[in-house]
């Protein structure tokens, strides 16, 4: 245990938890979006509000980082963790936005699998953020996120193969490919969050 002689700013823990909880909301909006009879316009607006809220949280963390003399862990790790959480939000928002912009009424069934992986990763990440302060019981988190990311890679490859099977016209293939790539980026970003948490835990142990 490190001896600290100066007070440190522990508000980061709450801000990271807020950012992660916002990702849970966003992931559930994705689930809602691909459900039958979804009001896509309304969901897109809700996702946009989530994205703005995520930006506000990220900017708040960065401002606090500039103001804090003592931080709970390395400043570069705080910056990296905030940036990775923001990357997840940006990719989920982009996927939803593209579905609307491209007027994609019909989505491949495999996208459901992608979205379910993201929802689970969001839930695990939100749970992990509540344990950052103690740095305890986090190993299972980054192991499971790594497993989910591998699963997401497999789903992504299957979706690509399906897109190029001849079922869709060339223009639709390009549109759908943009969407599934953004969802894949979100899965990658969740793994980057987990890798950052692991790095912080190792340094603090």
Select the more confidently predicted residue: 47 or 2: 47
d(CA 7, CA 18): 23
d(CA 15, CA 57): 7
Quick one: average pLDDT of 6-18? 77
DSSP string for residues in 79-139: HHHHHHHHHHHHHHHHHHHHHHHTT-----THHHHHHHHHHHHHHHHHHHHTTTTTT-S-H
Structure confidence by residue, pLDDT tens digits, 51-93? 999 999 999 999 998 887 788 889 999 999 999 999 999 999 9
Structure confidence by residue, pLDDT tens digits, 157-180? 999 999 999 999 999 999 999 999
Would you say residue 7 has pLDDT above 70?
no
Query: What local confidence, expressed as pLDDT, does residue 204 receive?
Result: 81
d(CA 48, CA 40): 12
Q: What is the mean pLDDT of the chain?
A: 92
Query: What local confidence, expressed as pLDDT, does residue 2 receive?
Result: 45
Would you say residue 17 has pLDDT above 90?
yes
d(CA 23, CA 25): 5
Structure confidence at residue 37 as a pLDDT band (50, 70, 90): confident
Query: What local confidence, expressed as pLDDT, does residue 187 receive?
Result: 98
Would you say residue 3 has pLDDT above 90?
no
Structure confidence at residue 9 as a pLDDT band (50, 70, 90): low
């Amino acid at each position: 245990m490190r001896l600290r002689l100066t007070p440190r700013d522990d508000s980061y823990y709450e801000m990271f938890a807020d950012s992660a909880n916002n990702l849970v909301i966003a992931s559930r909006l994705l689930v809602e979006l691909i459900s039958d009879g979804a009001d896509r316009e309304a969901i897109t607006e809700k996702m946009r509000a989530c994205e703005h809220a995520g930006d506000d949280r990220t900017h708040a963390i960065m401002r606090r980082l500039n103001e804090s003399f003592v931080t709970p862990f390395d400043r570069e790790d705080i910056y990296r963790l905030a940036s990775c959480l923001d990357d997840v939000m940006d990719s989920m928002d982009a996927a939803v936005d593209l579905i609307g912009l491209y007027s994609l009424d019909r989505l491949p069934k495999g996208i459901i699998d992608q979205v379910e992986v993201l929802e689970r990763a969001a839930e695990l990440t939100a749970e992990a953020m509540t344990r950052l302060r103690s740095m305890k019981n986090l190993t299972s988190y980054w192991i499971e996120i790594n497993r989910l990311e591998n699963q997401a890679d497999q789903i992504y490859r299957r979706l690509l193969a399906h897109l190029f099977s001849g079922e869709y016209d060339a223009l639709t293939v390009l549109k759908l490919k943009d969407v599934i790539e953004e969802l894949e980026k979100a899965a990658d970003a969740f793994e980057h969050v987990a890798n950052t948490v692991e790095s912080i835990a190792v340094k603090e142990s």
